[in-house]
Amino acid sequence: MKKQYYMLLAAILLLFLWGCAKQKTPPQESSTTLTATVTKTPFTIDAGTQKTTEKINDLDHAMNLYGEFLAGERNPKGHEYPRGAIDRYAYFDMNGDGIPELHVQFGITGNYYILSCKDSELFFWGVYAYCSEPLNNGAVLTERPVGMNGIVSYSYFEFDFCGNEQLRIDFAKASPNSEGFYDKNSDYFFENTKVSKDKWDALAKKYFEIGSDKIEWISIVLS
């Protein structure tokens, strides 16, 4: 019976991990429109980076494109963007080139989008589940809330310069009584391998401690 329980738990875990994974295809056009008052926060090139005229011009151009997108005046290249109830947005550099990406989050039933600028055009850098957030090191951490089966799962993503996924780490914990209470008697998984609570805590700590305090979110003001 115990072996069957672990096999069932592992199967449920796999469904959780892939059900909320990074979406490869941007969503289709929606007829809902968004009217918002956008606050354009200046983004400056950090001291110590190359402050060339070209870089400053690229930065200004990207910020103008982002402003047009948030105002509903521009869509990412090749896609009609679904206008809806955007909760907040942020400017944060994910690849270290000195030009920030635009981060847009919908409500708890929507997705989290990252847009970037290349060759004077906007494009989708990444599309993730609503329960995702950017981290200070340019990675993304997805935390899926406790479900009816007592599982809470996490996925950690790292990317190359253009936003292509280079690394993914999955880990989760499961409460047999489905009450969302976790202790040494709960089940812990790291990369689909069952581990002890102490080992799981030590492995997961590396990703939880990265933090996201460098991202300054700006709330959308609907008019």
Question: Helix, strand or coil for residue 93?
Answer: coil
Joined tokens for residue 29: 């056009």
pLDDT tens sequence for the chain (223 residues): 544 544 544 554 544 444 444 444 444 433 333 334 444 444 554 544 445 566 678 899 999 999 998 888 888 876 665 556 678 899 999 999 889 999 998 776 678 889 998 888 888 888 888 789 999 999 999 998 766 678 899 999 999 988 899 999 999 998 876 566 788 888 999 999 999 999 999 999 999 999 999 999 998 766 5
**What ranges do the domains of the chain cover?**
2-222
Q: Cβ of 97: how many Cβ atoms within 10 Å?
A: 14
Joined tokens for residue 187: 């089940």
Joined tokens for residue 103: 């981060």
Length in residues, the chain: 223
Q: Smallest Cα–Cα separation from 38: which of 105, 79, 89?
A: 89
105 forms beta bridges with 88, 112
Q: How far apart are the first and last CA of the chain?
A: 58
Q: What angle do CA 207, 93, 212 make, to 5 degrees?
A: 35
